[in-house]
């Protein structure tokens, strides 16, 4: 029986691991965690647009070709194309200032990859939370569904909702830093305050949350059309909208 809580600063944020592995020893779990953490740092080195020597930065400057970059770069850019198609252009990694920028998807992809390695190693209950983008496996140690609070867009001390989540949840918003999301379709009007997407893959949930944060109500419907994915939107005026299958937890009920 082994159990670990670990926090790691990487990818410009803090990633927390909550892991339980009843059939693993503590040493084996530590090794698995170490591999997961190393993978996050490796992905950060590969994909950071803020690190001048990252393969992604060099690709953006035209110093290397895609085939010269690590294989993961082509994989992630292909995923960006898929996400762009599924979101009907609301997520567009290829329309960013400064060149291709998979930032809206790559964190989710990296966290999901880290989780997959841990599960393969024998972890049966896992929460990998990278700055609010969360990949989940199994059940929490207390049992029942994972209950994830969505932060209130304007109140640091409050939650807007508690959602029951099985695999992945990502929230995108502009509430701390002002506008930083780019609308690839160049629309006017205030952007949503907060956009949350749940679904089986954190990679896609991350990209779709970005899409809903940009497209608002217009992007909500396309999330509903993707099997397994749900969205919860807080508009700029504080009103809410959500897809039919989203699961709100009763915040006052005991888990």
Partner 1 sequence: MKRAAIAVVAAVGGFAGVLGFNLGGSRAPLLHTSAPASNPPSGPPATPPPTSPGGSTTPTTTAGSSPPPTGVRSAVGTTYQYGYGQLAVRVTLDGTSITRVDTVGLQTADPYSQQLAQQVIPLLRHEVLAAQSAKVNGFSGATYTSEAYIYSLQSALDKLHKK
Query: Which residues sit at the interface with partner 1, rule CB under 8 A?
Result: 1-9, 12-14, 16, 18, 26, 30, 33, 127, 129, 131-134, 140-142, 146-163, 169-173, 175-177, 194, 196, 234, 237-240, 248, 251-255
Residue 239: DSSP 8-state: -
Least Å distance, CB 71 to partner 1, is: 28
Least Å distance, CB 34 to partner 1, is: 9
Give the residue with the Cβ less far from partner 1, 25 or 185: 25
Q: What is the dihedral of CA 165, 137, 47, 96, to 10 degrees?
A: -20
Give the residue with the Cβ less far from partner 1, 58 or 147: 147
CA 200 – CA 231 distance, rounded (Å): 13
Residue 191: DSSP 8-state: P
Least Å distance, CB 126 to partner 1, is: 11
Give the residue with the Cβ less far from partner 1, 3 or 82: 3
CA 72 – CA 238 distance, rounded (Å): 39
Give the residue with the Cβ less far from partner 1, 31 or 78: 31
Task: Give how far Cα 234 sits from Cα of 63, 172, 205, 212, Å.
Answer: 41, 11, 17, 10
What pairs with residue 233 in β-bridges? 195, 241
Helix (H, G, I), strand (E, B) or coil at 1: coil
Supply 144's token pair.
């029942």
Least Å distance, CB 66 to partner 1, is: 29
Give the residue with the Cβ less far from partner 1, 89 or 122: 122
């Amino acid at each position: 029986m082994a159990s670990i809580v670990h926090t790691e600063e990487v990818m410009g944020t803090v990633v927390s691991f909550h892991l339980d592995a009843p059939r693993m020893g503590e040493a084996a779990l530590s090794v698995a965690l170490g591999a997961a953490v190393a993978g996050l740092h490796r992905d950060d080195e590969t994909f950071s647009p803020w690190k001048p020597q990252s393969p992604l930065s060099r690709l953006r400057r035209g110093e290397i070709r895609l085939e010269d970059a690590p294989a993961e770069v082509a994989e992630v850019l292909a995923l960006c194309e898929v996400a762009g198609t599924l979101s009907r252009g609301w997520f567009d990694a290829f329309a960013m200032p400064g060149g291709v920028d998979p930032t809206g998807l790559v964190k989710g992809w990296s966290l999901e990859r880290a989780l997959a390695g841990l599960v393969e190693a024998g972890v049966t209950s896992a929460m990998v939370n990278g700055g609010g983008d969360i990949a989940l496996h199994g059940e929490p140690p207390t049992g029942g569904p994972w209950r994830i609070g969505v932060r209130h867009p304007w109140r640091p001390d409050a939650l807007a909702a508690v959602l029951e989540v099985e695999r992945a949840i990502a929230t995108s918003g502009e509430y701390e830093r002002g506008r930083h999301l780019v609308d690839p379709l160049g629309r006017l009007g205030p952007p949503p305050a907060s956009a949350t997407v749940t679904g089986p893959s954190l990679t896609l949930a991350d990209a779709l949350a970005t899409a809903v944060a940009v497209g608002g109500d217009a992007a909500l419907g396309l999330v509903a059309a993707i099997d397994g994915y749900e969205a919860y939107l807080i508009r700029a005026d504080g009103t809410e909208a959500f897809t039919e299958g989203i699961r709100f937890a009763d915040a006052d009920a005991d888990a």
